[in-house]
Structure 1
């Protein structure tokens, strides 16, 4: 490589990329999802396995598991949500910054599972909006990885610039 190869070339040739702001923002968001594991029961074991070397969730840009809601943008609710824990789950969801997504992992988080009792909430979607449901009791790590890829597709289709304007308008009030 010579000095002339490194020097500034004033001509616009093949190094220009034209795109929409939505596409760039969504590409960044979908390839850097920071999940927060909300392990409430046995599904949390399969959630941990998805981050281990065999399944390696980091291949999809999700290796940074954060245990602080302020540093995460995706809550993975894994397991049985009791009414006692429902308030905690909602408070943690409210502490997450926008945009935020929720994955309900397992039959218990999705529908209450086999527990039809006074103590178990029949689906976490009663307290927080759920973006992706993962079926199974407990679901395999492959099912969680598939759900996370579906979430990435959903993030890629989002209208992020319009959502940024809404957030700024709400913050200004």
Structure 2
């Protein structure tokens, strides 16, 4: 026991200070994109339909896998991890468009969920990468619980539904059953490109192209998978803990 106590003292405080201090992302991190006007030299179209040349160029972050295979010189990824939004249309990035962040929930919901927010997670046919990066938030480095946010085993104990994966045909009924089992009022989070729009499986007959084709979504967190910083930023913004 004394060895364990001595070890903890030696290790010190391991939880990062965010949001009190900003996060510094590595240069190779692919964050918020900057879209330049389309030129004649622009490369091929995105195989997942995330980029369109129409109207001067547009990148849909909801469909984007952040693979960086975009037309050279047309799209540049910054290190800005603030990608989560509350409006699906705000994931559309045009040349010179405004950078939108997630907006706070209505005051009545913030009063209910501001100090305690529990999610029931449904993995709806994904690869588990989004689940893995969400689980990282429960480690000592991020300590999601300090904000009163936790994942629970039963939808009856939850305040919201957390969805990953493209929502396959075999998972659609389970997702709806879970959604209906969560008491009202409740919120829904679509985490990852698959949950938002089907990801690489978009428009295949076995998937529903994202969760908002079945239930209303309150928070969209893009990425493949979303970085833990992106996830946490979105959650804290809807709870009005950061601005």
- TM more than 0.5: yes
Name the counterpart of 1:132. 219
Counting only pairs closer than 5 Å after superposition, residues 102-141 of structure 1 correspond to structure 2 as 102-116=188-202, 117-141=204-228
SS at match of 2:177: helix
Name the counterpart of 1:78. 164
* Cα pair 2:198 2:209 within 8 Å, conserved: yes
Higher strand share: 2
Choose which of 57, 61, 79 in structure 1 pairs with 2:144.
57
The whole-number CA distance in structure 1 between the counterparts of 2:237 and 2:188 is 12
Counting only pairs closer than 5 Å after superposition, residues 1-173 of structure 1 correspond to structure 2 as 26-40=110-124, 41=126, 42=128, 43-63=130-150, 65-116=151-202, 117-153=204-240
Displaced runs of 4+ in structure 1, greater than 3 A? Answer: 22-28
From the CA coordinates, give the structure whose radius of gyration is larger.
Answer: 1
TM-score by length of 2: 0.50
Moved more, 123-132 or 49-58: 49-58
* Cα pair 1:104 1:124 within 8 Å, conserved: yes
- The structural deviation recorded for 1:102 is 0.5
- Unaligned 5+ residue runs, structure 1? 1-21, 155-173
- The structural deviation recorded for 1:80 is 2.6
* Cα pair 2:110 2:239 within 8 Å, conserved: no
- The structural deviation recorded for 1:27 is 3.2
- The structural deviation recorded for 1:150 is 2.6
- The structural deviation recorded for 1:38 is 1.7
- Unaligned 5+ residue runs, structure 2? 1-105
Q: How many residues align?
A: 132
Higher helix share: 1
Alpha carbons of 1:134 and 1:23: their partners in 2 closer, same or farther (altered >3 Å)?
Answer: closer
Moved more, 27-36 or 127-136: 27-36
* Cα pair 1:47 1:78 within 8 Å, conserved: no
